[in-house]
Structure 1
Amino acid sequence: MFPTGVTVVTVLDEEGNPRGITANSFTSVSLDPPLVLVCIGNRSFSFPIFCSAPSFAVNLLHEGQADVSSLFASRSPEKFHSTGFGPKHTGAPVLTDCLAWFDCTVHDRVFAGDHLILIGRVQDFGPSETANRTAPLGFCRGRYTTVRDSLDAGAEAPHGIQVGYLVEADDGILLQSDGAGGWRLPGGRSRKAERSLLLADGGTLPLRPDDSFLYSVFDIAGQDAGCLVYRARLSADATATTLPPGFRFFALDALPFEAMPMRETRAMLRRYVRERRADRFGIYIDSSDGGRLAMVDGSTSSWPGAFAENG
């Protein structure tokens, strides 16, 4: 009734042949020592091997591997004929293509009902060397699904910092619709300057790799989260004619201040307009006495009117 991840649990039999099954009952047990567990059904063709093998590997599948999951859930004798694998620390077969893997020695075995609870001590782990997807494969209500981050681009990032991008063009700046009639800065997901903006549909808007600079750091009234804003420019192959729905360039004298719900964003953009017209930029750092504006030429000044709506 609730979504789980999907894994392929692999092991070597007594003759050194790779064996594997699909399992979604996988979880962490302990950090010290590092322990994980997986449940193996006693009807599995490989059940006797898991009851005696000294080591095993757990391979987490990504969203493009529903076929791999179905293959290892079958009794096909050719599971590894089309699936790349190799040894890591213990010698257990680790899939070449997967989201991540855990190479384990057996810490304990517990027989419970019709399942073996196989507890492994993690000896090595890591991401796949070839997987180019980041979303895990999920399983819910008898079907495969994709487990994606619920944060939309521009939402509060997991580290408690909202990240915005002030994307410049010759005739204005780029804004993103908030879906409720308002406008906001396009958002990022990392506190470090990124090379592209992630869109809600999974696409990206590429940025010039060497043309992003920190512009403003400030708190948001009534929230625990703060905000980082970078200045940036779209790359040459992401022009205004290829903007996705919900994105639009606004001229400096036509910015929709009245449709921007966050006061701090409005004040920052008014400062940007003044600085751009003067061609002299600074970095605003918030503080209890109104903040400091560090100019690119090295000078600093107090700015008690940081979030004033006028001036």
Structure 2
Amino acid sequence: MTDPKDLDPKALRQAFGAFATGVTVVTTRQPDGTPRGFTANSFTSVSLDPPLLLVCLAKTAHSADTFAAAPHFAVNILSEDQKAVSGLFASRAPDKFAQCAWTPGPADMPLIDGALATFTCANHQLVDAGDHLILIGRIHDFATAEGQPLGYFRGNYFSVGIEKDLAEAAAATKGSRLGAVLACNGGVLLKDDGKLCLPLAPQPTLDSLTASLTAQGLMPEIDFVYAAFDDRSTGGHAVYYHGTVHGTLPNGYRILPLADLASAALANPAEAQMLCRYAEDFRNGSFSIYHGTETTGQTRQLGA
């Protein structure tokens, strides 16, 4: 096992960036009433009883001392059209609150207009954690709004929706691929050119995938990202969507029945594992999203 002192900080930061998160702006007031705020994606719900949440703040941040001493703070979860707000509060601009719309909320905490959710908290506990402070807040008030969240993945923003931006940001790296698990006539569509594989896009974009299938007389309908993982064999990423497809089967394709998915001899072991999971998901009537590597990872259930 590697000694923690020998870990490469840059590589570790990139590894942390593999976890897609939302984006928040954390706000408070100085003793003289001046509003302060910073952008953070290290936001986590902690407890419902009592209602607690946490955010992490670098000790080197200009506002670290202010937040450590403040009796209250607020967390604003940004919507997908608030990239500029995120960038503003990640900067060292001296007049951040003069450049965005905000409203005084409970405990006079600054709340960002247009946020998807806001939480006003009392400073419940301050934990010293290496080069960061963990601010644990006890929630006294909260509000929510309709909309899509602003996401952050590997140093880039994305909008959740169909997760297209996230998938294509991951697949844009050299050695990456983008494909799909497409249900069709009681089975799954496979490419068969002597070796079985799932349909892949000529270029690692969703538009490229759908255009390629459409050009062959098929009509794909994409639902959501089914698997996104680091493929160490190529040094890139693999992103596979879930969906359905209709139309006359073109040459070089076949339908693999659901009953045969678990024993399918696919050329790519990761795709073979994916079809085993698909068969299980289909039986359970509840689909999931996989993330990890080509061999090990975690799944998150989506529902029926």
Output the TM-score relative to the length of structure 2. Answer: 0.49
Q: Would you tell me which structure has more helix in proportion to its own residues?
A: 2
